[in-house]
Amino acid sequence: MVPCSEEKRELIEEIGLNFQEKHYFTPLAGRIYAIMILSRGEGFSFEELTGLTKASKSSVSTNLNLLIQLKYVEFFTKPGDRRRYFRSTKNYLKLTLNEHLVAIEEELTLVEKINKYNCEHNPQRFRKNESLGSIFQKYLEVQKNNIKATLQKMDAFHKRKVL
């Protein structure tokens, strides 16, 4: 039984739920990732994770490997210790931003397709909604530019840190 405060447990569930909804994680993947976000970054061993999540080895294994593949999690080793230690990568915010970007680009192309179809097949309806649609498109463009600008800011920040 790995110790963990009630407060932390609740936060883990809440954050985990959020990652289920917004990043399509499984419940367990959400919990694992939440545990890592709420830590000093020194990494968790495999058995600590099974203990904290109360899940089976197999489930932890699969979900952990999924998170590693998606670059949410990385691992490192310590000399004279067979175990691997798992922690969240530092680019969570960047990954999130990239997901936002993809979502918005998808939405833009979809809106364009709908407009194109209605312009050709339902001209009356299209004309009625034209200006509203362009307001929406402008909105998406602004969101997109904000994401791109923020990504650049983050890159600049990372470079400064490294030097």
CB crowding 86-104: b at 16 or more within 10 Å, else e: bbbeeeeebeebeebbeeb
Round to whole Å and give the CA distance between 11 and 23: 17
Q: Could you say whether residue 29 binds a copy of itself (CB under 8 A)?
A: no
Round to whole Å and give the CA distance between 73 and 38: 13
Q: Could you say whether residue 26 binds DNA (CB under 7 A)?
A: yes
- Residue selected from 13, 15, 108, 119 as contacting a copy of itself according to rule CB under 8 A: 15
Count the helix, strand and coil residues of the chain and give each as a percent rounded to the nearest 5: 75, 5, 20
Q: Could you say whether residue 113 binds a copy of itself (CB under 8 A)?
A: yes
Q: Could you say whether residue 37 binds a copy of itself (CB under 8 A)?
A: yes
Which residue lies nearer to a copy of itself by CB, 18 or 65? 18
Amino acid (1-letter code) at residue 159: K
Which residue lies nearer to DNA by CB, 51 or 133? 51
Q: Could you say whether residue 83 binds DNA (CB under 7 A)?
A: yes
Which residues make up the interface to DNA (CB under 7 A)?
Answer: 26-29, 45-47, 54-59, 61-65, 80, 82-84
